[in-house]
């Protein structure tokens, strides 16, 4: 069975085609600069990447480019789109309406439209991508897999913000959490590795956007991102959690209007804002090693905040069996892993510094010392495989 995974963003449509008998990626690529000029990047596994300028004024046209590419005689991989059994769409925000991965029908599309209010920047391109796929591949099942879904098991004390209850109810304001497919994937892998289905795990998804989750017996108990992906630890250019009073204060002092303040918090803060260098931690890493003071401060903030989340989630779960690091920073940055777990022997956490000295392992590796009570793992995340697997399961169930 072949499953196509689509991730539609505001000006891009990323895709991966999976062979679900082997769980291997056959082809992947990106229709980028939609609505600007259009650029296709495409590669078959094991072959060279191709890059082409192709006009893509809309997401619907990007879907057509994707179909032409996959069926192209020279660099495609299928003869006909009927070879694709289903399409799985990555959805950032399912709101309180879309809770589990689901087959698209009119009711599901109406529920997704309700999310426009909560996450307009993500939901709008998602809808365009889905509708483009429905039009171009009528009869092919379309499945939605939500980034918020895994966090739906949080108890009310974890997801309720202490604001006016009626206002919160009226506007569906609560902690939703994000990166759910990643937290679900790596915590599932960790449970398998530990051989303990009831393990208490803290999963640290540290990338350009970062979130940390407390997972007990495979269920999410709490997570650091909130109503939007802005809450939690310091990120590339996002501020993470700050005193909410800072926001109107900065608006007043810096004369920033409401419509620009979101941009300020999302694009001008985080590593970029603190270091003044970059939102990319690789550049911060180089500057830290060269002795740059503000880069070091950004680094230290991240490590300190990760440590605090691990401590508080250990308290919330009444114990800890395992810490997982994943995503760009979690899988590649040994400094951040080391610094965030330093001086945590009290919690039974002891890193093996030599094993920690690794970038980008291909599969799960253990980096804790043999006598560490808490196991520390690096697990490469694979959100696309989760989306493809959910899509296959739903399609098989409806057969
Ligand atoms: P992601 O959003 O998961 O792609 O992660 C992006 C972040 O991971 C950026 O801050 C990168 O600097 C960092 N990152 C990715 N690859 C590496 C690497 N090989 N070494 C160090 N940092 C990396």
- By most ligand atoms within 8 Å of CB, the mutation choice from 333, 378, 382 for ligand 1 is 333
Provide the pLDDT for residue 105: 96
Q: Residue of the nearest CA to atom 4 in ligand 1?
A: 328
| 330 alpha carbon – ligand 1 mean position (Å) | 8
Provide the pLDDT for residue 398: 86
For ligand 1, whether the C-beta of 328 sits within 6 Å is: yes
**49-58 long-range contacts, Cβ below 8 Å, gap at least 24?**
50/75, 56/31, 58/34, 58/128, 58/132
Report the alpha-carbon distance of residue 62 to residue 78 in Å, rounded: 18
* Catalytic one of 32, 111, 147, 222: 147
Q: How many residues does the chain have?
A: 399
Q: Residue of the nearest CA to atom 14 in ligand 1?
A: 328
| 360 alpha carbon – ligand 1 mean position (Å) | 10
Q: What is the percentage of the chain residues whose pLDDT exceeds 90?
A: 97
- Cβ density class 86-101: b for 16+ within 10 Å, e for less: bbbbbbbbbbebbeeb
Nearest by Cα to 3 from 166, 133, 176: 133
pLDDT at 130 over 90: yes
Active site (annotated) includes residue 147: yes
* pTM, 2 dp: 0.95
Mean pLDDT of 99-112: 97
Q: Residue of the nearest CA to atom 15 in ligand 1?
A: 328
Report the alpha-carbon distance of residue 369 to residue 352 in Å, rounded: 4
Could you tell me the strand order of the sheet in which 24-32 lies? 50-53, 39-44, 24-32, 13-19, 2-8, 84-91, 142-146, 102-103
Report the alpha-carbon distance of residue 207 to residue 223 in Å, rounded: 15
**Dihedrals φ, ψ of 255, to 5°?**
55, 50
Provide the pLDDT for residue 50: 95
Mean pLDDT of 346-364: 97
* pLDDT bucket at 176, cuts 50 / 70 / 90: very high
Provide the pLDDT for residue 222: 98
Provide the pLDDT for residue 399: 79
Q: What is the pLDDT of residues 247-276, one digit of tens each?
A: 999 999 999 999 999 999 999 999 999 999
* pLDDT bucket at 173, cuts 50 / 70 / 90: very high
For ligand 1, whether the C-beta of 29 sits within 6 Å is: no
| 271 alpha carbon – ligand 1 mean position (Å) | 13
* pLDDT bucket at 184, cuts 50 / 70 / 90: very high
Mean pLDDT of 322-333: 98
Angle between helices 258-267 and 246-254 (to 10 degrees): 110
Report the alpha-carbon distance of residue 144 to residue 146 in Å, rounded: 6
pLDDT at 97 over 90: yes
| 1 alpha carbon – ligand 1 mean position (Å) | 32
| 235 alpha carbon – ligand 1 mean position (Å) | 11
Give the position of tokens 């309180």. Answer: 96
pLDDT at 10 over 90: no
Q: What is the overall mean pLDDT for the chain? A: 96
Mean pLDDT of 62-85: 94
* pLDDT bucket at 123, cuts 50 / 70 / 90: very high
For ligand 1, whether the C-beta of 327 sits within 6 Å is: yes
Q: What is the pLDDT of residues 207-228, one digit of tens each?
A: 999 999 999 999 999 999 999 9
Provide the pLDDT for residue 287: 97
Provide the pLDDT for residue 160: 98
């Amino acid at each position: 069975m072949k499953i196509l995974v689509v991730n539609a963003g505001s000006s891009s449509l990323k895709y991966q085609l999976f062979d679900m008998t082997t769980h291997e990626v056959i082809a992947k690529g990106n229709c980028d600069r939609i609505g600007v000029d259009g650029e296709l990047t495409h590669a078959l596994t094991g072959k060279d990447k191709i890059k082409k300028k192709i006009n893509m004024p809309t997401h619907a046209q990007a879907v057509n480019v994707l179909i032409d590419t996959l069926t192209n005689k020279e660099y495609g991989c299928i003869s006909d789109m009927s070879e694709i059994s289903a399409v799985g769409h990555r959805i950032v925000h399912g709101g309180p309406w879309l809770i589990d991965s689901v087959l698209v029908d009119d009711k599901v599309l109406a529920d997704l439209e309700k999310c426009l209010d909560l996450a307009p920047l993500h939901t709008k391109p998602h809808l365009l991508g889905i509708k483009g796929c429905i039009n171009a591949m009528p009869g092919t099942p379309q499945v939605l897999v939500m980034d918020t879904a895994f966090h739906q098991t949080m108890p009310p004390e974890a997801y309720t913000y202490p604001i006016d209850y009626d206002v919160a109810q009226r506007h569906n304001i609560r902690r939703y959490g994000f990166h759910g497919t990643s937290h679900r994937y790596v915590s599932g892998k960790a449970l398998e590795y530990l051989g303990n289905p009831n393990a208490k795990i803290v999963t640290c998804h540290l990338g350009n956007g970062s979130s940390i989750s407390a997972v007990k017996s495979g269920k999410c108990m709490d997570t650091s991102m909130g109503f939007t992906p802005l809450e939690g630890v310091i990120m590339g250019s996002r501020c993470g959690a700050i005193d909410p009073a800072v926001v109107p204060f900065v608006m007043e002092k810096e004369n920033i209007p409401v419509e620009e303040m979101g941009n300020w918090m999302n694009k001008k803060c985080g590593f970029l804002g603190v270091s003044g260098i970059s939102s990319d931690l690789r550049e911060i890493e180089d500057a830290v090693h060269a002795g740059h003071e503000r880069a070091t401060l950004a680094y230290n903030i991240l490590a300190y905040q990760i440590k605090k989340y691990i401590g508080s989630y250990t308290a919330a779960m009444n114990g800890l069996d395992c810490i997982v690091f994943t995503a760009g920073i979690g899988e590649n940055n040994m400094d951040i892993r080391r610094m965030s777990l330093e001086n945590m022997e009290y919690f039974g956490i002891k890193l093996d510094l030599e094993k920690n000295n690794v970038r980008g392992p291909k599969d799960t590796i253990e980096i804790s010392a043999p006598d560490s009570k808490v196991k520390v793992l690096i697990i490469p995340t694979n959100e696309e495989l989760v989306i493809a697997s959910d899509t296959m399961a739903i399609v098989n169930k409806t057969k």
